Amino acid sequence: MTESEAWTRKKRIDEKLKSSLLKWTVIHNDQVDDHASLSNHAVEEFPTETGPADYALFVEGKLLGIIEAKKVSVGAGNVLEQAKRYAKGVPDTVGEWREYKVPFLYSTNGELIFHIDVRKKLNSSHQLFDFHYTGCLNPGMPKESFSWWTGVHWLRKLYRKFPHLKHRRV
């Protein structure tokens, strides 16, 4: 049986975002009166000029990320272009990097996650183990420190899952 995109979003993506490691609160856009009041929220069906983004990531009232979701049978790497299109079609946010008004873009099929930081002109996408923790999304942080911090943060979290490795410092 083929999994639908709606099922993938609810059972795979929502669960990842809501995990105890990531701590995103998933909420539908219809339930939001004031986006500026949101902190650590993944807003479903966020409206843009080019259609609704599957998820818009808000931290301290700022739109910092967009996630484009597809069903498992669709390759996640190829749909970052759709997230880029949404990032160009949102109202003014935290800044503008060339045509993009949202700095952190993701695409996923529930199993694979791809990410691109559009703040640098010579950017390239890469695959992630998981979405970023809410505290890692900060448009003022240099790209180099963002990547470094995210790597160290996730490595520490991963080691904590293995009791026999707890005595080692990472």
> Which residue ranges make up each domain of the chain?
5-138
Task: Check residue 124 and give its pLDDT.
Answer: 86
What's the CA gap between 50 and 48, in Å, rounded?
5
Give pTM, 2 decimals: 0.80
Kindly state the helix (H) or strand (E) to which residue 106 belongs, with its residue range.
strand 104-108
What's the CA gap between 68 and 106, in Å, rounded?
6
Q: Are 108 and 17 in contact (CB under 8 A)?
A: no
Residues 53-67 have pLDDT tens digits of 999 999 989 999 999
Task: Check residue 160 and give its pLDDT.
Answer: 62
Percent of the chain at pLDDT > 90 equals: 49
User: Of 44, 7, 5, which Cα lies nearest the Cα of 24?
Assistant: 44
User: Of 23, 29, 24, which Cα lies nearest the Cα of 43?
Assistant: 29
Task: Check residue 91 and give its pLDDT.
Answer: 81
User: Of 46, 48, 53, 77, which Cα lies nearest the Cα of 67?
Assistant: 53
Residues 74-104 have pLDDT tens digits of 888 888 999 999 999 998 778 888 899 999 9
Residue at 98: amino acid letter: R
Average pLDDT over residues 125-143: 76
Task: Check residue 164 and give its pLDDT.
Answer: 55
Q: What is the CATH number of domain 5-138?
A: 3.90.1570
pLDDT averaged over the chain? Answer: 83
Residue 9, C-beta contacts closer than 8 angstroms, at least 6 positions apart: 44, 54, 69, 110
Distance of CA 95 to CAs 22, 42, 84, 87, 117, Å?
A: 24, 19, 15, 11, 13
Using DSSP's 3-state secondary structure scheme, residue 105 falls into strand
